Amino acid sequence: MAERESTKRERGSPYLSHAVGDALRDLTEKRLLDLVKSEPVPNHLAIIMDGNRRFAAAHGLDVSKGHAKGRDVAELLLDWCLEVGIRTLTIYALSTENFSRSSDELEGLMDLYERALRDIAVDERVHRHQIRVQVIGNRSLLPARVQEAIEVAEKATQGYSRYRFNVALAYGGRDEIVQAIRALAREVRDGTLAPEQIDSDAVSRHLYTRDLPDPDLIFRTSGEERISNFLLWQAAYSELYFSDVLWPGLTRLEFLRAIRSFQMRRRRYGE
């Protein structure tokens, strides 16, 4: 009788339940990874990393801790993309609108970006996989120390072309298009370009992403279903995937679900 009672307690143990849950999750993740790797993946994945502040509030953390955890997930994301063979990754780290946040929060973010950029310049993964790092956005809005860190990261990886890792900092899609229009207007004024020669290719040549393919998939966390001024021109035919998971809580399993969702769609390009 005592042995039966002991067995009953073990079966009802929360530790046993967690172990079974973990095993099922691992099995699901492995199966999904096999499926994802069996079919073409997005060539260019763009991520709107949303939810750091809400994650911090939900877990009783300072906002800075939420941003720090978000950075940790961004590093994992790079590994996940390499694992499935995604060649180009662009993350939306700081929008032009984000500059309306408090000075304390912005100062903490700038510290985070400076450290992250200097770290990535010496990251073993970056050099082993030959990943070219590029920052897109209005750099003049960033502190000198962050601009210097950008130069360090870009210079350390400028000779690479196997993979591309792009960080959108002080980035705004409308601002990017306005800057392109101004550049085209100057060329028309100077007589090097006729107005009739302005087409979509001409505009694309003047964007921050001029040497990058347009994103195949734009993935946003946090439950919000909009692209928030991110890659407005480039997203014309991008597939969209929205997840309720807050960015610091993103898991490899949820990442794989997003890629698998993309693989199961038929891209019509206006057909």
Catalytic member of 26, 43, 98, 214:
98
The answer to whether residue 50 is catalytic is yes
When the pLDDT of each residue in the chain is averaged and rounded to a whole number, the result is 93
pLDDT at 266: 84
pLDDT at 150: 98
pLDDT at 270: 63
> Is residue 27 a part of any domain in this protein?
no
Q: Any residues with CB less than 8 A from the CB of 217 and at least 6 apart, and which?
A: 42, 44, 45, 46, 238, 239, 240, 241, 258, 259, 262
pLDDT at 24: 80
> Is residue 12 a part of any domain in this protein?
no
> Is residue 249 a part of any domain in this protein?
yes
Please give the Cα distance from 26 to 258 (Å, whole number). Answer: 17
> Is residue 20 a part of any domain in this protein?
no
Mean pLDDT of the 17-31 span = 79
pLDDT at 74: 96
Residue 2 has pLDDT above 70, yes or no: no
pLDDT at 25: 79
Residue 16 has pLDDT above 90, yes or no: no
> Is residue 100 a part of any domain in this protein?
yes
> Is residue 177 a part of any domain in this protein?
no
Mean pLDDT of the 61-70 span = 96
Domain of 164? 42-171+208-263
Mean pLDDT of the 126-142 span = 98
Please give the Cα distance from 47 to 52 (Å, whole number). Answer: 14
pLDDT band, very low/low/confident/very high, at 22 (cuts 50, 70, 90):
confident
Catalytic member of 22, 26, 50, 52:
50
Instruction: Give the tens place of pLDDT for each residue, 148-168.
Output: 999 999 999 999 999 999 999
Q: How many domains does the chain have?
A: 1
Residue 177 class from Cβ within 10 Å (0-12 exposed, 13-18 middle, 19+ buried)?
A: middle
Would you call 123 helix, strand, or coil by DSSP? Answer: coil
Q: Any residues with CB less than 8 A from the CB of 249 and at least 6 apart, and which?
A: 51, 55
pLDDT at 26: 83
Mean pLDDT of the 236-260 span = 97
pLDDT higher at 44 or 15: 44
Q: What percent of the chain has a predicted confidence (pLDDT) above 90?
A: 87
CATH assignment at residue 153? 3.40.1180.10
Please give the Cα distance from 4 to 78 (Å, whole number). Answer: 49
Phi, psi of 58 (to 5 degrees): -70, -25
> Is residue 49 a part of any domain in this protein?
yes
Looking only at Cα atoms, what is the longest distance across the chain? Answer: 96
